[in-house]
Chains A and B, each alone.
Chain A
Amino acid sequence: MFGVVRQKVSAGGSPLTILGQTLPFLRAVASPLRSYSSAAKEMTVRDALNSALDEEMSADPRVFLMGEEVGEYQGAYKISKGLLDKYGPDRVLDTPITEAGFTGIGVGAAYHGLKPVVEFMTFNFSMQAIDHIINSAAKSNYMSAGQLSVPIVFRGPNGAAAGVGAQHSQCYAAWYASCPGLKVLAPYSSEDARGLLKAAIRDPDPVVFLENELLYGESFPVSAEVLDSSFCLPIGKAKIEKEGKDVTITAFSKMVGLALQAADILAKEGINAEVINLRSIRPLDRATINASVRKTNRLVTVEEGFPQHGIGAEICTSVVEESFGYLDAPVERIAGADVPMPYAANLERTAVPQVEDIVRAAKRACYRSMPMAAAA
């Protein structure tokens, strides 16, 4: 899939038009894998997020949106389209360029009873505000012994996009998930996006909501239940996207799509993989992961971010601690390359997990491949 995108980019197209051309291709690949009860309508992740914001702002007057370009520009990625017109400049605030400033303001407003949704143009820029997120938002309820609660949501695109280089491509799931006091969510489909964003806004604790730029334009089928304005997904529960019995593959955000593609390829070779969409990074649904591993006895973790101290490392330890006796093979960990993201298309492709990497790892776990050195 990335190969297709790369060729078009090198031919001189802009990322946005490329995406428009690759989407039908993606949709064709993705839709047969869905198993929804009544897949009547389709909705892009962008629309899912927009509708979730709209409904929550309508339901609770304390909810307000703040960030760079969220108002007049309709959102840097058009997630907040139409919201300024509907709710006015009191509820949709265009901020000056100061992540530290508007994050601090959001935290202060939350201290005093409002429910801010703070948008970072990408989570890479949240680094400029990380003190407010960790030292204030995450820790205040604890340090103030419950007097200062922080019902805030930090959202924005996370992880690699396409051809944007190191300072626009890092995955921050592991950074935020290591901090007690925060909740960290990573939606994949439109159903995830709607349900988890609504849950995040309603949650009284600070939530880091990691979206993905490349998923915004992707369409997923949504049932009537998902479209209902009271729809909400529980925080801390993973979803089994595809049931299987031979090997467990865990993934979150964009990597879920790759894992599902890998599962298709593995199925043709007689390996029935179970794909788990984590949805919630903190709290991690250890119960679902461990139950799955106890069933399949094999585990492959997939993430886009850097390998050291990453999500896969935590999942591996959880399984070793709780289900060691059930493992029939060492845990395989697929992650991004341990380098700042390069820009050149060929280098970028090699720095991010591809479907083939997941397939090979699953085969290794099933002892269906050559020894490690040859397969790498």
Chain B
Amino acid sequence: MATWFRRTRAVSHHLRRNDKCPSSSSSPRAILDLQGASAPVMQPPMSVRIRRATDGISPARLPIFSAKRFESTRAEKHLQLLQEAEAVEDDLDDDNDDDDDAQVLDFPGGKVAFTSKMQFISESSEKRVPCYRVLDDYGQPIEYDCSAQVNEELAVKMYTDMVTLQIMDAIFYEAQRQGRISFYLTSMGEEAINIASAAALTDDDVVLPQYREHGVLLWRGFTLQEFANQCFGNKVDYGKGRQMPIHYGSNKHNYFTVSSPIATQLPQAVGAAYSLKMDKRSACVAAYFGDGGTSEGDFHAGLNFAAVMEAPVIFICRNNGWAISTHIREQFRSDGIVVRGQAYGIRSIRVDGNDALAVYSAVREAREMAIKDQKPILIEVLTYRVGHHSTSDDSTKYRPMDEIEYWKMSRNPVNRFRKWVERNMWWDDKREAELRNNIRTQVLQAIQTAEKYEKPPLSELFRDVYETPPSNLHEQESQLRETIKRHPKDYPLDVPV
């Protein structure tokens, strides 16, 4: 303690010599506060300017009052933080007389009270973080009537899109089972998350999905035909037949192309948000991911970085209980994802993901905070993955049938929202039957049309590897065409050349 004191005196001596220090105008503060005794006048260490350390010495070995920090904007922020911490210390000072243990230490990162009682923070709090919901299981508003926030037009669009998503998923899934497409995965049980979150965003907000958020793209105007084209990889697919089904992407709708590796979109979302921030746009980024994705290193890097860079990203975690066959108990031991937000310095909320209105209002609020305050927000939406992970999975092998049935029937988000919409006299059985019939016909039609389209031409094999095709690809393409001409029987007729 005494040596610390001596060093601080040396610093203050330096400081008084250097009158370019901006905080010389601020009032003197005591750094160490032992039982109320005051220390000599001293500025926070960061503002000292001394001779520059030589190149080649690692920052870890520089003295804490490192040179030129003072000049950078970063150092000014440090200064601010320290001054704010001093204000905190003032409050702590008041408690000092009551509690002998509330004393204050100065470390990088700010002032922190210390205690002589050794106490470990429990690995879990007694009560789990509560979950925000607006409608009960029967579609009744719990606290207040939210039709002011969600008017008839919006509610009906949300409901019809949820039904469309449900039907589209069911029929495409069947198409895969019939061998017409190679792969599909559904968002069954997560219709509210998909549609309501999309409804709360604007078209200017950039979406980076994982792969179970095609409802967001549907909301933004991607047509059933366009979905089908991608699944069949035909020549009018915007993806030019490059990707497996459900890997949709659309610049027009600000929906970045789906990428299979898990959670890679999280740091990428921060980068995109940084670009928005530099352009000073009034828009944010929405990055979606599942409970399983939070185990990836990219989750940590993305959230940590978003907080440090103060990037306007909404991180939306669909905690649906399962990552293929890995239950969340085997994925993490924390109280879900919401508790991790604070660990990164990110504001967070837990929402009932099967309640369309709760999801809508939470995402809307998060969006405003993200843009106004230029900071990331974490939303954990709790739900259940009713469908199998994908067409390559049979989830009855690792979870009970009756659990799946329960969630499908009793906790169905579409039915729940329908009850609220009907209660407001904005929907009825007749319109329901019409809608379902209509959508079904359209989806089947889209599939038939997509199937009949030709596949992409051979030239698409070599395009877009680079912006301009390099000479070696030109050569390879002409060699291939040459070979096809010479050996036509080796090449299928349905591949346009």
| Residue ranges of A at the interface with B (Cβ–Cβ < 8 Å) | 16, 69, 71-74, 78, 84-85, 88-90, 93-96, 98, 100-114, 116, 131-132, 135-136, 140-149, 180-181, 183, 204-205, 236, 283, 286
Q: Mark B250-281, 1 if CB is under 8 A from A, else 0.
A: 11000011011100111111111111101000
Chain A residue with the shortest CB-CB distance to B243: A143
Contact present for B268 and A147 (CB under 8 Å) = no
Contact of B276 among A72, A90, A112, A149 (CB under 8 A): A112
Contact present for A90 and B466 (CB under 8 Å) = no
Contact of B271 among A16, A106, A143, A144 (CB under 8 A): A106
Extra 20 A-B pairs, beta carbons < 8 Å, given A94-B74, A131-B264, A147-B250: A89-B73, A100-B267, A100-B298, A101-B298, A105-B268, A108-B270, A108-B271, A108-B273, A109-B272, A110-B271, A111-B268, A112-B206, A114-B271, A136-B259, A142-B465, A143-B242, A145-B237, A146-B464, A149-B467, A236-B470
Chain B residue with the shortest CB-CB distance to A114: B275
What residues of chain A lie closer than 8 Å to B463, measured between beta carbons? Answer: 146
What residues of chain B lie closer than 8 Å to A102, measured between beta carbons? Answer: 267, 301, 305
Sampled A-B contacts (19; CB under 8 Å): A69-B59, A71-B74, A88-B73, A96-B301, A103-B267, A104-B267, A107-B267, A108-B270, A114-B271, A114-B278, A135-B260, A136-B264, A142-B242, A144-B249, A146-B464, A147-B251, A148-B257, A149-B467, A204-B467
Contact present for B270 and A141 (CB under 8 Å) = no
| Residue ranges of B at the interface with A (Cβ–Cβ < 8 Å) | 55-56, 59, 68-69, 71-74, 206, 208, 237-240, 242-243, 247, 249-251, 256-257, 259-261, 264-276, 278, 297-298, 300-302, 304-305, 308-309, 463-467, 470-472
What residues of chain B lie closer than 8 Å to A85, measured between beta carbons? Answer: 71
Contact present for B267 and A108 (CB under 8 Å) = yes
| Complex-state Cα separation, A279 to B302, whole angstroms | 35
What residues of chain B lie closer than 8 Å to A143, measured between beta carbons? Answer: 239, 242-243, 247, 257, 259
Contact present for B467 and A96 (CB under 8 Å) = no
Contact present for B274 and A105 (CB under 8 Å) = yes
Contact present for A116 and B271 (CB under 8 Å) = yes
Contact of A144 among B239, B268, B270 (CB under 8 A): B239
| Complex-state Cα separation, A64 to B297, whole angstroms | 24
Q: Which of A71, A105, A114 has the most CB of B within 10 A?
A: A105
What residues of chain A lie closer than 8 Å to B466, measured between beta carbons? Answer: 141, 181, 183, 205
Contact present for A112 and B59 (CB under 8 Å) = no
CB proximity of A99 to chain B, nearest CB, Å: 9
Known contacts A96-B308, A100-B298: does B271 contact A111 (CB below 8 Å)? yes
Contact present for B239 and A105 (CB under 8 Å) = no
| Complex-state Cα separation, A307 to B297, whole angstroms | 32
CB proximity of A149 to chain B, nearest CB, Å: 7
What residues of chain A lie closer than 8 Å to B269, measured between beta carbons? Answer: 108
What residues of chain B lie closer than 8 Å to A74, measured between beta carbons? Answer: 55
What residues of chain B lie closer than 8 Å to A205, measured between beta carbons? Answer: 466-467
Known contacts A16-B56, A142-B465: does B259 contact A283 (CB below 8 Å)? no
